[in-house]
Amino acid sequence: MNRENTNRQTAKPAIRIGHGFDSHEFHDGIQLKIGGVVLAHHRGLGGHSDGDVLLHAITDALLGAVAAPDIGALFPPSDPKWKGADSAVFLREALQRVEHAGYAVANIDSSLILAAPKIGPHAGKIRDRVAELLGVPADCVGLKAKTPEGLNLDNTAIAHVVVLIERTDRT
């Protein structure tokens, strides 16, 4: 192995990426929370904690960026402690792991896929809240909403997220 290869393997990368995916089923009579924002709707997302599909995907993207265990491993859905929990708790833990690894969030981009409610009117509020949780300006949070056309998934909310993190200890 030559010197150049050795250096490449040991040097800490200046940037890293992470990807997160999540899905939850809609159920009647529960609160709908997306990106840490409560939305007025007759149905909410069931499953793990408060069912915040977007915060879960962001959490997994952050954890993935530093090759940490995923959200299900750190916060098992089977543990009653996390029933109804605020998903911001998971995101903060993931962010701490990113910071401890010597990185900070540069920007994230996300796609939300759900039949209803329309996200457009709430997008600004969701971006602001996610930016606040991540400690980045709102223009570093991309949010696109799509309807699940042709997927036959009108009872499901899906989130895809990618995150870019950059090294904070560059000398």
- Give whichever of 22 and 33 is closer to Zn ion, judged by the CB atom: 22
Which letter does DSSP use for residue 12 in this model?
P
- Give whichever of 56 and 122 is closer to Zn ion, judged by the CB atom: 56
Residue closest to Zn ion (Cβ):
56
Laid out side by side, the sheet with 141-146 consists of: 43-45, 15-28, 156-167, 103-113, 141-146
- Give whichever of 48 and 127 is closer to Zn ion, judged by the CB atom: 48
- Draw the binding track, 12-41, toward Zn ion (x: CB under 5 A; -: no contact): ----------x-------------------
Strand intervals (E) in the chain: 15-28, 32-34, 37-39, 43-45, 103-113, 141-146, 156-167
Beta bridge partners of 163: 18, 108
Nearest approach, Cβ of 130 to Zn ion (angstroms)?
Answer: 15
Binding to Zn ion in span 38-97, by CB under 5 A: 48, 56
For Zn ion, how many residues bind (rule: CB under 5 A)? 3
CA distance 31 to 113: 18
Nearest approach, Cβ of 47 to Zn ion (angstroms)?
Answer: 6
Residues that bind Zn ion in the complex, under the rule CB under 5 A:
22, 48, 56
